[in-house]
Chain A
Amino acid sequence: MPALSQNARWLAIYLPRLATDRLKRSGRAPGDDRPLAIYAKQANAYQLTGVDKRASELGLHLAMSLADARAIQPKLEAVEAEPEEDARALDAIAAWCERFTPIVVIDPPEGLFLDITGCAHLFGGEDALRDMIVARLYAQGFGARAAVAPSPGAAWAFARYVRKPNADLEALAALPVEALRLDPQAAALLRRLGMKTIGQLKDAPRSAFTARAGERAMLRLDQAYGRAREALTPRRPPPPVFALRRFLEPIFTTDAILHVMQDLCADVVEKLDIRGAGARRLALVLFGVDGRDRVISVGVSRPEREVKALIRLFREKLNVVAENIDAEFGIEAARLDVVHLAPIAEAARELVVSEEGCATPEQISGIADILSVRLGAKRVLRPQVHELHAPERASGWRSALSETKDAQALKPPADGVQRRPIRLFSPAQPIEALATVPDGPPIRFRWRRVLREVARAEGPERIGGDWTEGDATRDYYRIEDREGRRYWLYREGLYGEADTPRWYVHGLFA
């Protein structure tokens, strides 16, 4: 048997009346005390797929035909099933549950699994957490039952088949085989074989039995007892590292959030420390009392693992988004996720010894991070140089947050000649130019309504256009006017190709 995590804790939620509860919440169900049932066409007949508490008390039950139900209860309000709406409601509940743990698994049609390993103490223990979830769901109009167990399978069984809230794995033995999440045929087969309880199945000789009852029942058995791993896919990929806090009273202000951030960051940093990693991307999820969550993301240009630095980043971001958080009813829980982490090379960190009074690379990227957080990553840029001929594509900019390597060390040319301008216009600006020789440099040109007399000209430097972009060939000139101002001009198209050559200012030299 594969060794499973010994201290895993799973909370299963069962919403037996999801469809009718949803309908009542949406206001589309009758307000009076008439019984409510949901029906769907199954095997060429209309069958009940959901009954509310009242209908259930009046003797209606699932899988009963609609005709029979109507016969028993003429006043029955019957609504056709909307499985997609039910799935949406279940997803919304799952999203709401993420305030208790980031690992929430949807178990359709009416169940959820929450991995609460290491989370329960934040809510006063497992019992308090389970009771709170059930009570809060009830307050929102959803009848729910919940149970905690070391495996999802056991929690599933307890939530559906056990009345008392505290159960351990031994309690499984007394439960019917249906509690193993089997399809009806498999369960019926087991019953025909005399296996009515999980305990009987567990004690049966495995080898002979497996062939007849199928692998699946045995797998479910092992999963329930935590002897076999069960691969569950969370609603959202869980962050590798996270920290969670729930507040006794809802909080409203940025200051209060920042106060909580101290704790959250400290938790996260401790976990990062153990992994020898730093955060590259973080998300602060604020869970509103209104059921909505707000996500505030922050990127860092190099792995960060300092509480102070992290708080500073979030302070900047919160200052920007504070107006938009709109915590009208307050925030009741907060989770800090490290969405993306990267190892921190400890040795390299210590070796960086800067000149006295000189900013370290860490300090500088820290500043770049703060700038990016406040102004947006597209506005804080580092240069990039590409091996491309076309001037517009020979270099570019990348976010100061991106991991790409720094621009390679380009040195000034030994002859000191400035072949490329320090500023570039994109797109190039058209000018009127007059050239004495048709394929020579202009002798004067008008740009921005000012006539400029050319004193010196160097060129042409022919730069072929990009075939794929449909660019024309360009002849570039470096020009100095009578006042010493220097321009990078080009004539578009080869001489003779166009009737009137077009001229542009593409950049300015110092």
Chain B
Amino acid sequence: MSPRPALPHLVSGSTLETGFAAQAGRMAKAALHEIGPAGPGAEAAAMGFALALTASWNPPAIFWAGEEAAFSEEGAPYPVGLAQYGIDLSRLIVIRAKKREETLWAAEQGLAAPGAVVLCALGARGKALDLKASRRLLLFAERNRSRCLLLQPEAGPSAAWTRWRIASAESDGIDHELGAPAFRAELARSRAGPSGQTFLLDWNAHARALAERALAGDLSAATRDGSFEAVRARAGR
């Protein structure tokens, strides 16, 4: 699967399209996106969402540059599980950086590979990335037509094209089975189109596609146990 072609949204008027497919199409073009947990404990979901996007783009290389602290707090990448998740292991390079500067430097180096996806994962300790640093990542990505997914627990001022708040969503599986990985993804900000929507998404690792779950299921699930409100409340809105 090759990267989706950039949508000429100003011409076609596709900015009006607010479905997840349209949003993801815009993301495929733009270069820096911020993905954060909707609340404490949602870091694994945020990383899962970032990995799902990455796998769906099928890039020639995946650089996962993380702060050592982030690896010890949130667990180290696990190759067997990543392969099951749809990540092409032969294209994955993991960088365990000691310090934040090293992480950012490594991310910039990775972005030099045209078409690559760089997962830049910052730990909970330390401030959110500032505007200058995020702008650098954007520049590197734009110059080489690569993509950077910035993962950090707290949102800061950012040059990112989109900002996502990710929480886990309840399984869609029957009975007590755990179904496909599921996310509640809120598009908190978008420079390329409308924002503010929340998508309920299931990850199909086999097809490498994020699919929107039927809205009815979303509403019923959210109203049934109130988890939707809980998620929003944790996100501070």
User: Which residues of A approach B to under 8 Å, CB–CB?
Assistant: 354-355, 357-360, 363-364, 367-368, 370-371, 374-375, 379-385, 391, 394-397, 400, 406-407, 409-414, 416-426, 448, 450, 455-458, 478, 480, 482-486, 507-510
Interface residues of B in 152-207 (CB under 8 A from A): 167-171, 173, 176-178, 180-184, 203-206
A-B contact count (CB 8 A): 219
B95 near A478 with CB under 8 A, answer no
- Given A410-B80, A424-B75: A509 and B48 within 8 A (CB)? yes
Q: Are B114 and A413 within 8 A (Cβ)? A: no
Q: What chain A residues lie within 8 Å of B167 (beta carbons)?
A: 483-484
Q: Smallest Cβ distance from A394 to chain B, in angstroms? A: 5
CB distance from A300 to the nearest CB of B (A): 15
A407 touches B90 (CB 8 A): yes
> In the bound complex, do residue A400 and residue B93 qualify as a contact, i.e. CB atoms below 8 Å apart?
yes
Q: Do the beta carbons of B92 and A383 come within 8 Å of each other?
A: yes
Known: A394-B80, A400-B93. A359 touches B116 (CB 8 A): yes
B residues less than 8 Å from A379 (CB atoms): 95-98
Give the complex CA separation of A416 and B45 in angstroms.
Answer: 17
Given contacts A371-B106, A480-B171, A510-B49, contact A420 B44 (CB under 8 A): no
B residues in contact with A396, CB < 8 Å: 79
Q: Are B83 and A363 in contact (CB under 8 A)?
A: no
Once the chains bind, are B80 and A380 in contact (CB under 8 Å)? Answer: no
**Which residues does chain A contribute within 8 Å of B97, judged by CB atoms?**
375, 379
Q: Are A374 and B171 in touch, CB under 8 angstroms?
A: no
Min Cβ gap A474→B in Å is 16
Contacts of B173 in A (CB 8 A): 456
CB distance from A384 to the nearest CB of B (A): 7
B220 sits at the interface (CB 8 A): no
B47 on interface, CB distance cutoff 8 Å: yes
Alpha-carbon separation in the docked complex, A454 to B1 (Å): 37
Chain B residues touching A, range: 35 or more
Across the interface, which residues of B come within 8 angstroms of A412, CB to CB? Answer: 83-86, 205-206, 208
| Contact sample, A vs B, 28 pairs, CB 8 Å cutoff | A355-B60, A357-B115, A359-B60, A367-B110, A367-B113, A375-B98, A375-B102, A380-B94, A382-B89, A397-B79, A409-B90, A411-B83, A412-B84, A412-B86, A413-B205, A418-B181, A420-B78, A421-B81, A422-B47, A423-B77, A456-B177, A482-B227, A483-B227, A484-B182, A486-B178, A486-B181, A508-B75, A510-B51
Smallest CB separation, B150 vs chain A (Å): 18
Set B106, B115, B205: member contacting A358, Cβ < 8 A: B115
Asked whether any CB of chain A lies closer than 8 Å to the CB of B112, the reply is yes
Complex Cα gap A128–B168 (Å) = 76
Pick from B60, B171, B205: contact of A484, CB under 8 Å: B171
Q: Flag if A478 contacts B86 (CB, 8 Å).
A: no
B176 touches A458 (CB 8 A): yes
Is A423 in contact with B2, judged by CB distance below 8 angstroms?
no
Of B75, B110, B113, B168, the contact of A423 (CB 8 Å cutoff): B75
CA A15 to CA B211, docked complex, whole Å: 81
Q: Which B45-99 residues have C-beta < 8 A from chain A?
A: 45, 47-49, 51-52, 60-61, 63, 74-86, 88-98
User: Which B positions have Cβ atoms within 8 angstroms of A?
Assistant: 2, 41-42, 44-45, 47-49, 51-52, 60-61, 63, 74-86, 88-98, 102, 105-106, 109-110, 112-116, 145-146, 167-171, 173, 176-178, 180-184, 203-206, 208, 225, 227, 230-231
A374–B115 Cα distance when bound, in Å, is 23
Does A509 lie within 8 Å of B106, measured CB to CB?
Answer: no
B93 to A420, Cβ gap below 8 A? no
Q: Which residues of A contact B91 (CB under 8 A)?
A: 364
Chain B contacts of A426 at CB under 8 A? 76
With contacts A381-B94, A397-B94 known, is A458 near B178, CB below 8 A? yes
Tell me the minimal C-beta distance from B94 to chain A in angstroms.
Answer: 5
Given contacts A374-B105, A450-B41, A483-B167, contact A508 B49 (CB under 8 A): no
Residues of chain A within 8 A (CB-CB) of B63 are: 367
A508 and B44 contact, Cβ closer than 8 Å, known pairs A371-B95, A422-B81, A456-B171: yes
- How many angstroms between the C-alpha atoms of A415 and B178 in the bound complex? 12
Q: Is the CB of A383 within 8 A of B176?
A: no
Assess whether B52 is in contact with A375, with CB atoms less than 8 Å apart: no
Smallest CB gap from B116: residue in A: A359
Q: A383-B94, A485-B41 are in contact. Are A354 and B60 (CB under 8 A)?
A: yes
Q: In the complex, are the beta carbons of B80 and A420 less than 8 A apart?
A: yes
Once bound together, how far apart are the Cα atoms of A380 and B103, in whole Å?
Answer: 11
Residues of B within 8 A of A482 (CB): 225, 227
Q: Judging by beta carbons under 8 Å apart, are B2 and A510 in contact?
A: no
Partner of A363, one of B80, B113, B171: B113
Contact partner of B78 (CB less than 8 A), chosen from A358, A416, A421, is: A421
Contact in complex: B44, A509 (CB < 8 Å) = yes
Question: Is A357 a contact partner of B89 (Cβ separation < 8 A)?
Answer: no
Bound Cα distance A304, B228 (Å): 54
**A416-B89 contact given A371-B95, A385-B80, CB 8 Å threshold:** no
Quote the shortest CB–CB distance from B222 to chain A (angstroms): 11
Minimum CB–CB distance for A388 against chain B, Å: 10
Task: Give min CB distance, B76 to chain A, whole Å.
Answer: 6
Task: Determine whether the beta carbon of A422 is less than 8 Å from that of B44.
Answer: yes
Q: In the complex, given contacts A416-B206, A480-B178, A483-B230, what are 10 additional A-B residue pairs having Cβ atoms less than 8 angstroms apart?
A: A374-B102, A380-B94, A380-B95, A400-B93, A410-B84, A413-B206, A423-B44, A424-B81, A458-B177, A509-B44
Are B92 and A355 in touch, CB under 8 angstroms?
A: no
